[in-house]
Structures are given as structure tokens and as C-alpha cells.
Amino acid sequence: MQAFTTRPEIRGDFGVVASTHWIASAVGMAVLERGGNAFDAAVATGFVLQVVEPHLNGPGGEVPMIIAKSGEAPQVVCGQGVAPEGATIAHYRNEGFDIMPGSGLLSAVVPGAFDAWMMVLRDYGTMSVEDVLSYAIHYAEAGIPLVPNIVGTIGKVKDLFTDHWQGSAAIYLPDGNVPSLNGKFANPQLAATYRRIIEESKVVSGREAQVDKARDAWYRGFVAEAIGDFFANNELMDTSGRVHKGVLTADDMANWQASYEAPLSYEYGGYEVLKAGPWTQGPTLLQQLALLRGFDLDSLDERDPQFVHLVTEAGKLAFADREAYYGDPDFVDVPMDVLLSEDYNDARRQLIGDMASLQLMAGHIGDAAPFAIDRPKGQTEEGRNNTSMGEPTVAKFDHQELGENGNVKGDTCHLDIIDRWGNMVTATPSGGWLQSSPVVEGLGFCLTNRAQMYWLDEKAPSALAPKRRPRTTLSVNMALKDGQPELIFGTPGGDQQDQWSLHFFLRHVHFGLNLQENIDSPGFFTNHITSSFYPREIDAGHLEVETRFGQQTIEALRAKGHNVVADSDWAIGRMTAAQTSGGFLRAAANPRQMQGYAVGR
């Protein structure tokens, strides 16, 4: 008898869409019903997510993807913008920063999402710019139903908007008030921006030419000009408690574009798992697999304390290596061949014992000591003064620590789509959160804060430097079976993304759970890693679990030395997934927070 799940695993043969918001999933399915392919549907879904989840992502954010056209090799799409020319360590040090600010103008990089979506539409889609933007325009003009986290987020930054970020107040505080939970919320400025892009795209003929014209409007036209003027002419509040001018310019916008690259891969459990490169944290999932292949996980189950312990300890080692070695491989030599090698992981695996480690233990490669910065939670100057600034998290809103300078925890979005032809797209849009950066007046959106992931230390592989990509937390997953794409999956969650995605994959491989059973399983994660978000601290020994694991498991983990935080029953994780297997297309989505949905037929 099949176990109870919160909703069915969707099965069909026409198409499936799973995302972190029900409206976005419905839009993706509508595009498939109109004859569009998975790439058309993904682009339309991505733009709608910007409208319906503005506290989680926006037009000024970024997006990595893995795409697979039927019959072709999968590719990574890099929609991660780079640091501006003026973003030097010396400049930020002169402004009084020891670490990168978590909000405001100085934490902006080139916004990459628009170009990435448009590039995929041009190269793999079938629809026009107007076709795919029409859904986002509709919701921006007609309004969206608000979820509690949007209302709560706006309420917490009301004073910041009123006192410092008036452009944000004009959008998010209509009539000076926080929008009502029972009302509709519209963003006519954003709708007007997209209508103008469509207008400008139509001055040329041909679908591909029109897509490129839209890209020009954004990166070399009126959007870039408005962003450049805004940054040049405003000094605004950020996490330092002081006002600063940003360094992003229109030239920075004009000199960047999205790109394709080959994925990294690792074989595990009969699958070849694909990830983006070490400009993301994605390879940590592969490193964790390399460590865990030396343990007999088949003898455990998804609620076993030993399963939680082994996975957590492997995560500590992989994420220590992330901080020591990961960065933009266009600028630094990241030794991924060593990090995924059998000899290296055989040695590292010996560090996983019966008790929880309370140390940061990056591996040694070569003669030089690995880069490390130890910033214990609550013991740094920034942490004592401002907590949890700008961090993507899926904690329930009333659990979040929120501050007055834009230091509000944001989040991220995710989508997985497979069409009837076998095309696949998995994407994790994020950045441009309404609460962490001021709205660019006249455009209706704010910019990314991804620059907070650089270190102001030349020795760091992820050090700040012009034109470097930040080592983003954003991550996407594809798994091949017998050389063919079968499974795509992902989640919001900042540093937790390549923990929850790993748990999902392991439970699929070792315990045979279907997609929805897997997503419904009790969640867990550790913050025993150097946080990617301001104030960049580590919570040594931390392990957070959903109480559905049961008291016996929780006490067993405490007995192993983990500093266990027992969260509520349904608090951890926001996975979505899609799969082609057994003659069906399948999809599932997370029930937590009551937003994500999978649809299909």
C-alpha cells in the first residue's frame, strides 16, 4: 500500500511543471498547452515568479539553469552577473567595510536573469518576447494575491522604505500603508518596463532578432541607462547603518552577457549527477556523494539518526572545502579534479566518526594551507550589531530575525519543467529581493545583493574583483540514467540548497521513495558552515530537524554531540522535482508554506 503524501505525485505524458508558486506553475502549463516547449514555459514561468514572489526574486536578480534539449547534451546556463569595474577591495575597505554589506547599492552585481532567460528563449524556444512576457505583465497590472510572507516582509521594512528608500515605498506601500493580505497587489511600473521592452523589440522583424533587441533594451538601452543614473545619483542606507553610493554603471551592464558551459558530473547509484561549476556551491553536492559512497546507506532508512548523522558530517567537510577552494574558475584555479578524486575522498572520509565534529576542516591540497575565515556566530562585530542580513532562508516568517537597514531574510525560487518531446529545464531564480535593495525609480524593480558573497581578502578564492562572478549559493540539479536525462530537482534555501537537494537524491536512490514521498519526508540541515550571507558567520555543531523525525531520533542525534534545534513538523525545505520514468512524466512540489505546486497531464 502506498504511503500517504500531502498531494499526489503528478503523472502524465503531455508535460509537467513544478515550481515554488501555484500561479507560476499554472502559467508554465498554460504555455505547454498553447504548443510551447519546455524552454518557452520556463521563461514565462520565470518572469511570473518575479511578480508573484517579489520578496524571493526579481527582474534584477540572477538565475543558473541546466537545460537539456531532447537528443542533445545538457548545458549549464550562467545567468550570474559579475562584479562592476569599480568593485575593488580597496574601494570597500576605504568605505569602512571589513566584509561585504548585505543590503543596499554596494552589494549589487550586474543583474543576470533577464539575459539568461532571453538567451534560452532565442536559442531553444519557439515563442516571441511578447508571448512569454504577457503573463508577467498581466499579473503586474491586474495584481496578485498576497501570501503572508510578502505582507510580513513589507511590514518589517516599512520604516526603511518611508525614511530612506522612497522608490520602494512608492511600489510596496500604496497610500503609505502595508498592503492587505486579502487584497491584490499590482506593480504598474514593472508592467510598463516590460511593455516598453516588447515595443522596442518589435522595431525589427524575426523572432530571434526581436529577442536580441529585447536584450539590448535591457543591457544597452533604457533599462541600463536608468540603473546607471540611479546608482550615480543616489546615496542610500545599507546594512552598515550608513548611506553609500553604489558602483554599478551602464557600461558594466553593456559589457556582460549570459553564457553556456558544460556541467560538472559525478556517478553515483546508477546515475550521472550534473551540477554547475564552482562559481556556484553546486559541486558540494558531488563532493558529498563522493564521501558518502563509502558508507552503507542502503541498510538505513530516511528517518534513521545514523543517516542524518553521516549526511550532516559529510556536508561539513564539503562545505569547508567550498570556502577554501571555490570561486569563479575564469579567474582562479579550482582543483575540482582533486576534490572529486577517489584518493582525496578516501582520506577525508576517515574524518567522519561516531560523534559530531565541531571543527572547520577543509582539506589540504598541495603545500599551501587552505583558505579559511572563522567567524563564530554572534561573536563578530557585524553579527552583534545586525543579525541575519539578506539571507535566503525558508524559515517561517515569525522565526526570522529582521532588522531596520534592509537586513531581512529573503529567499529564492525554483522551477522544473519537462515537455512531451523530452526537453527539460531546471532553474533557481533569486536575487533582487524587495527588502534588500532599493527600487530603481521608473523601472519597478530592485537589484541583486549577490556581491555579499565575495570576501574582502585577496587570498580568498572568492575574493572581490571586477568582472568576477560571486560564488553563489544558487544551485540546480539534473541526473542522467543510461546517458539520458531522467531527473531534475532543486530548492530555494541559500546554503541549504545543496543539503536538501542531496537528501532528496539520496532518498530516491537508496530508499526508493517517489518524488512526493521524498519531498514530504522530514527535513534537516546544518549551519556548521561559513554562511554565504552577511554577517558571514558559522554556527558550530548546529543541526536543525523537523520534529516529525521523532523524539528518539532527536535524542540519538544529541547523544552524538549535535546541537539539535527541533523545528516544527513542516518547516524545512522547499524542493520541487520532475522526472521521466516508467513511461510517465512525473512531478512533485513542496507543501510547506502552502505555495509550491506541481501540475501536469
Q: Where are the domains of the chain?
A: 19-260+413-453, 272-376+477-600
Pairing of strands 259-261, 75-79: antiparallel
The predicted-structure confidence for 51-79, as pLDDT tens digits, reads as follows 999 999 999 999 999 999 999 999 999 99
551/68 Cα distance (integer angstroms):
43
Strand partners, 431: 57
Above 50 in pLDDT, residue 320? yes
The angle formed by the CA atoms of residues 177, 179 and 180, to the nearest 5 degrees, is 115
Distance of CA 12 to the CA centre of its chain: 28
Q: Is it the case that residue 400 has pLDDT exceeding 90? A: no
Can you tell me whether residue 543 is helix, strand or coil?
strand
Asked whether residue 286 carries a pLDDT value surpassing 50, the answer given is yes
Residue 452 grid cell: 555579499
pLDDT at 399 over 70: no
| pLDDT number for residue 368 | 85
pLDDT of amino acid 182 = 87
Q: pLDDT tens for residues 418-471?
A: 999 999 999 999 999 999 999 999 999 999 999 999 999 999 999 999 999 999
Give the per-residue pLDDT at 395: 37
Question: What pLDDT is recorded for position 374?
Answer: 87
- Distance, first Cα to last Cα, the chain: 24
| In this structure, CATH architecture of domain 272-376+477-600 | 4-Layer Sandwich (3.60)
CA–CA distances in Å: residue 138 to residues 48, 187, 188, 469: 9, 10, 10, 33
What would the pLDDT profile of 250-261 be if each residue is shown by its tens digit?
Answer: 999 999 999 999
Mind listing the pLDDT tens digit for each residue in 366-390? 988 999 988 999 999 888 875 334 4
Which cell is 149 given? Answer: 510572507
- Look at residue 1 in the predicted model and tell me its pLDDT: 65
The predicted model scores a pTM of 0.96
Residue 3's pLDDT is: 84
